[in-house]
C-alpha cells in the first residue's frame, strides 16, 4: 500500500511528483540506504522516503519544507519534477565534487565520458541535432543536448479522434526544415535544408511530459484537452519502457488539480493514489 501526502496548500503538483519518485525503486533504495546524505533538499527527500516506509496506509505524511520550490504557490507538475531532480542532482554532485553536464555544447563524436550522480544515471538522456549540407555532405551545427524529460507536442483536439502517445513521440522527433542556411565548408547557400534529431543516450527512467498548455494569439494560456491513448509500454529508438507512474491534471489553465496513478507490485494496472489528503 502507498502512503498519502498532506496537501499544504497548492502542493498537489508536488505531492503527485513525489509519489512517482517514491515509487522509483532505484532512487528510493539509494536514499533509504544512504545515511550520510548532504544537502537540504536531499535530506528532506530521504526523510520522506524513510517515513513512507515506516508509516501505514491509514495516515498521511507531510513532505519537508525544502522539498517545496515555491511555498504557498501553485506550480506545474513537470516544472516541479525538474526543480526537484535538478536540486537532488546538484547536491549529490556537490557532495562528490562532480561537474554538471553542460547542455547545448557542440561536439562531433558524441563527447567524452562525464561523471554523473545517481539522479543523472537514472533520468538523464542525451540527444543530438545536426545539419548536413546536401552539396558537400559536411555535417555542421552538431549540438548535444542533455535532458531529464521530453516535452511532447499535443495536437489540438479533433472530434471523435484519439491521439496515441506514439504519434506525439513521432511529432517530437520528426525532421525540421530550415528556410535558408549557408554551409561553412563549401560556402553554398541552401534552401529547405533538413535538421535532424536523434537520441545518443536514452535514460533508464524516461519522463514524458505532454505539453497541454499553450498561449493563444492574445497571449492567454489555454489547455489542450485532446484525448491521448497512453499504453502500458512503449519503445523508443529500440529501448523498451514500461509505465509505472502517471501524473494527471484535471481542470483548465486557470485552475486545476493534480493526482498520481502508480503501478504497485506486479499488478497489471495503475492505482490512483490519494496523494492530496486535506
pLDDT tens track for 95-142: 877 655 554 444 444 444 456 799 999 999 999 998 877 777 777 767
pLDDT tens track for 233-266: 999 999 999 999 999 988 887 788 899 999 887 6
Strands (E), the chain: 4-5, 60-61, 105-106, 125-132, 139-147, 150-153, 163-164, 176-182, 189-201, 208-211, 213-215, 221-223, 228-229, 233-236, 239-242, 245-251, 256-262, 271-272
Of the two residues 149 and 35, the one the predictor is more confident about is 149
What are the grid coordinates assigned to 223, written together? 489547455
Helix (H, G, I), strand (E, B) or coil at 215: strand
Per-residue pLDDT, averaged over 36-51, amounts to 91
pLDDT of residue 70: 64
pLDDT of residue 111: 45
Per-residue pLDDT, averaged over 2-7, amounts to 80
Phi first, then psi: what are they for 154, rounded to 5°?
-115, 120
pTM of the model: 0.83
Average pLDDT along the chain? 82
Q: Which of 87-96, 137-146, 169-178, 197-206 has the lowest mean pLDDT?
A: 137-146
pLDDT band of 17, cuts 50, 70, 90: very high
Ordered by where they begin, the domains of the chain are: 4-272 (3.90.70.10)
Q: Where are the alpha helices (DSSP H) in 55-203?
A: 77-96, 118-123, 165-173
The answer to whether the beta carbons of residues 170 and 238 sit under 8 Å apart is: no
Amino acid at each position: 500500500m502507498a502512503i498519502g501526502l498532506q496537501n499544504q496548500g497548492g502542493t498537489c503538483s508536488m505531492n503527485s511528483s513525489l509519489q512517482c519518485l517514491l515509487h522509483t525503486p532505484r532512487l528510493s533504495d539509494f536514499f533509504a540506504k544512504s545515511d550520510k546524505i548532504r544537502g537540504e533538499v536531499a535530506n528532506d527527500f530521504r526523510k520522506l522516503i524513510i517515513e513512507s516506509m515506516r508509516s501505514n496506509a491509514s495516515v498521511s505524511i507531510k513532505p519537508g519544507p525544502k522539498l517545496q520550490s515555491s511555498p504557498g504557490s501553485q506550480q506545474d507538475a513537470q516544472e516541479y519534477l525538474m526543480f526537484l531532480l535538478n536540486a537532488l542532482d546538484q547536491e549529490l554532485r556537490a557532495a562528490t565534487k562532480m561537474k554538471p553536464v553542460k547542455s547545448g555544447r557542440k561536439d562531433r563524436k558524441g563527447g567524452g565520458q562525464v561523471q554523473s550522480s545517481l539522479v543523472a544515471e537514472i533520468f538523464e538522456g542525451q540527444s543530438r541535432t545536426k545539419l548536413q549540407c546536401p552539396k558537400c555532405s559536411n555535417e555542421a551545427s552538431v549540438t548535444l543536448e542533455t535532458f531529464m524529460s521530453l516535452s511532447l507536442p499535443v495536437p489540438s483536439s479533433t472530434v471523435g479522434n484519439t491521439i496515441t502517445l506514439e504519434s506525439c513521440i513521432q511529432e517530437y522527433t520528426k525532421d525540421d526544415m530550415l528556410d535558408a542556411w549557408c554551409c561553412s565548408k563549401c560556402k553554398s547557400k541552401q534552401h529547405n535544408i533538413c535538421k535532424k534529431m536523434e537520441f545518443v543516450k536514452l535514460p533508464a527512467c524516461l519522463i514524458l511530459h505532454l505539453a497541454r498548455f499553450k498561449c493563444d494569439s492574445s497571449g492567454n494560456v489555454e489547455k489542450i484537452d485532446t484525448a491521448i491513448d497512453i499504453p502500458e509500454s512503449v519503445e523508443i529508438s529500440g529501448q523498451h519502457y514500461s509505465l509505472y507512474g502517471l501524473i494527471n491534471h484535471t481542470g483548465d489553465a486557470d485552475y486545476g488539480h493534480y493526482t498520481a496513478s502508480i503501478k504497485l507490485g506486479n499488478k497489471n494496472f495503475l492505482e490512483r493514489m490519494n496523494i492530496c489528503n486535506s
